[in-house]
């Protein structure tokens, strides 16, 4: 029976069967309602930052640290461009060289079809992973535009990764994202420009009332990783969110809901054809938002 097969998928996933886990996550991602008991609060770390900053390489270091300490680590990589889910981004999986594969689960999630909002069922997937015994859930997203920060509405701990020679630090500052992080890792400390990058990040935070710590690391050599892990471990996710973070979190959920509305594509089309104004379009959509 359908119900039985759903619950046995969860039971099997809990017993360590990865195929069942993959199937379970795919079903959740496809919008199926699957009841999973809630017995704990998931431990979730969102890792964001500009393309190429070293997020995947750094996550491998973190996963390696935790897997060496007998923790099971699940990594969900949100791929903004791929229509395909379930498989691993080749590039990203290739960065997983240090972590113990028996203790690590890796999966990419497509963000396509959500117009850059929160991927389908992400929160339920996190819960499923947590309840089936994954002690740490890490979500990797590229943080370059407003929509991509949707992640902060599902992760209590946010790590921003930046580094030298990216020219993105300034942009990050502009978007106010430096402030939404709990921690900032200035990666690639082995490269010559790293001191300058640290300074530039610290300058960007100089007006912040409660600036997050900036930690210099090299995911390549492992320098500073121990310190970063200590900081992550001691974050207190319950201590409240900054106003900046609460705003982005709320706005991301609203944007996702608007984009998931069954009317969205039609209204966008009508506006593009000058049939209606955008204000009329917004009025037509009111009360017709999609869920999350
Ligand atoms: N020198 C140096 N190179 C690094 C370091 N960390 C990562 N890299 C390199 O930077 C490049 C990008 O690393 P990724 O880990 O794929 O970066 P990413 O942020 O996950 O990239 P996207 O997922 O494409 O946004 C790769 O060539 C890495 O080998 C570091 O600490 N030092
Ligand atoms: Mg990556």
Residues in the chain: 292
Give the whole-angstrom CA distance, residue 87 versus residue 74.
Answer: 14
Per DSSP, the three-state class of 17 is coil
Residue 52 Cα to ligand 1 midpoint, Å, equals 5
Whether ligand 1 lies within 6 angstroms of the CB of 51 is answered as yes
pLDDT at 10 over 80: yes
Atom of ligand 1 nearest to the CA of 189: 31
Q: Is the pLDDT of residue 138 over 90?
A: yes
Return the percent helix, strand and coil in the chain, to nearest 5.
45, 15, 45
Segment of 50-54, 145-149, 245-249, 269-273 carrying the highest mean pLDDT: 269-273
For the chain, report the end-to-end CA distance as a whole number of angstroms.
Answer: 27
For residue 47, how far is its CA from the centre of ligand 2 (angstroms)?
Answer: 10
Q: Is the CB of 56 under 6 A from ligand 1?
A: yes
Number of H helices, E strands in the chain: 11, 7
Query: What angle in degrees, to the nearest 10, is found between the helix axes of 278-285 and 264-272?
Result: 160
Please report the pLDDT score of residue 1 as a whole number: 41
pTM for the model stands at: 0.85
The reported pLDDT for the residue numbered 254 is: 83
Reading the block at residue 117, the tokens are 């909002």
Residue nearest to atom 9 of ligand 1 (CA): 54
Query: For 107-116, 157-166, 201-210, which range has the lowest pLDDT when averaged over its residues?
Result: 107-116
φ, ψ at 184 (rounded to 5°): -120, 125
- The residue nearest atom 2 of ligand 1, judged by CA position, is 188
CB of 191 within 6 A of ligand 1: the answer is yes
Give the pLDDT mean for 66-72.
Answer: 95
Q: Does residue 114 register a pLDDT over 60?
A: no
Residue bearing the CA closest to ligand 1, atom 10: 54
Query: Which pLDDT value is given to residue 13?
Result: 95
How do residues 202-242 score in pLDDT, each as one tens digit?
A: 888 888 888 899 999 999 999 999 999 999 999 987 666 67
Q: Could you read off the pLDDT of 32-54 as tens digits, one per residue?
A: 888 899 999 999 999 988 888 99
Considering only residues 163 and 144, tell me which one the structure prediction assigns the higher pLDDT.
Answer: 163
Q: What is the mean pLDDT of residues 21-34?
A: 90
Q: How much distance in Å is there from the Cα of 56 to the middle of ligand 1? A: 7
User: Looking at per-residue confidence, does 88 or 248 come out higher?
Assistant: 248
Top mutation candidate among 46, 51, 56 for ligand 1, by most atoms within 8 Å of CB? 56
Ligand 1 atom with minimal separation from the 92 CA: 16
DSSP 8-state code for residue 213 = P
- pLDDT tops 60 at residue 173: no
Helices 225-233 and 55-68, interaxial angle, to 10°? 70
Of 1-15, 142-156, 251-265, minimum mean pLDDT range = 142-156
Question: What is the model's pLDDT at position 186?
Answer: 95
What single DSSP character describes residue 288?
-
Amino acid 3: pLDDT: 44
> How far is CA 102 from each of CA 18, 71, 192, rounded to the nearest angstrom?
10, 11, 36
Average pLDDT, the chain: 83
Q: Is the pLDDT of residue 244 over 90?
A: no
Query: At residue 181, does pLDDT exceed 90?
Result: no
Where would I find the H helices in 142-263?
A: 169-174, 194-204, 225-233, 243-259
Closest-approaching ligand to the CA atom of 162: 1
Tokens of 45: 């770390």
Give CA–CA dist 114/104, Å, rounded. Answer: 27
| Residue 142 in contact with ligand 1 by CB distance below 6 A | yes
Q: How would you list the strands of the sheet with 73-79, edge to edge?
A: 104-110, 73-79, 136-140, 44-48, 157-162, 183-186, 214-216
Nearest-CA residue for atom 17 of ligand 1? 54
Task: Choose between 173 and 95: higher pLDDT.
Answer: 95
Q: Which of 94, 93, 76 is nearest to 85 (CA)?
A: 76
């Amino acid at each position: 029976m359908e119900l039985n097969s759903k619950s046995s998928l969860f039971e099997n996933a809990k017993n360590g069967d990865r195929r069942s886990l993959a199937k379970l996550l795919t079903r959740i991602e496809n919008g199926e309602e699957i009841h999973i008991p809630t017995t704990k609060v998931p431990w979730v770390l969102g890792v964001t930052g500009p393309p190429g900053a070293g997020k995947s390489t750094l996550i491998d270091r973190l996963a390696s640290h935790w897997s060496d300490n007998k923790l099971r680590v699940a990594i969900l990589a949100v791929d903004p461009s791929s229509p395909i889910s379930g498989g691993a981004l080749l590039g990203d999986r290739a960065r997983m060289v240090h972590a113990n594969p028996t203790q690590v689960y890796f999966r990419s999630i497509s963000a396509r079809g959500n117009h850059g909002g929160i991927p389908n069922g992400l929160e339920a997937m996190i819960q499923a992973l947590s309840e089936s015994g994954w002690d740490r859930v890490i979500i990797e997203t590229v943080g370059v535009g407003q929509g991509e920060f949707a992640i902060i509405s599902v992760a209590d701990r946010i790590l921003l990764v930046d580094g030298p020679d990216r020219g993105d630090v300034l942009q990050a500052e502009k978007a106010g994202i430096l402030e939404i992080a709990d921690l900032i890792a200035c990666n690639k400390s082995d490269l010559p420009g790293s001191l300058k990058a640290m300074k530039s990040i610290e300058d960007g935070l100089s007006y912040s009332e409660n600036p997050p710590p900036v930690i210099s690391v090299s995911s390549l050599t492992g320098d500073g990783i121990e310190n970063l892990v200590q900081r992550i471990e001691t974050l207190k996710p319950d201590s409240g969110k900054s106003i900046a973070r609460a705003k982005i979190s709320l706005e991301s959920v609203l944007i996702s809901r608007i984009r998931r509305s069954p009317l969205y594509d039609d209204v966008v089309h009508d506006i593009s054809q000058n049939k209606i104004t955008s204000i009329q379009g917004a009025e037509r959509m009111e009360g017709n938002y999609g869920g999350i």
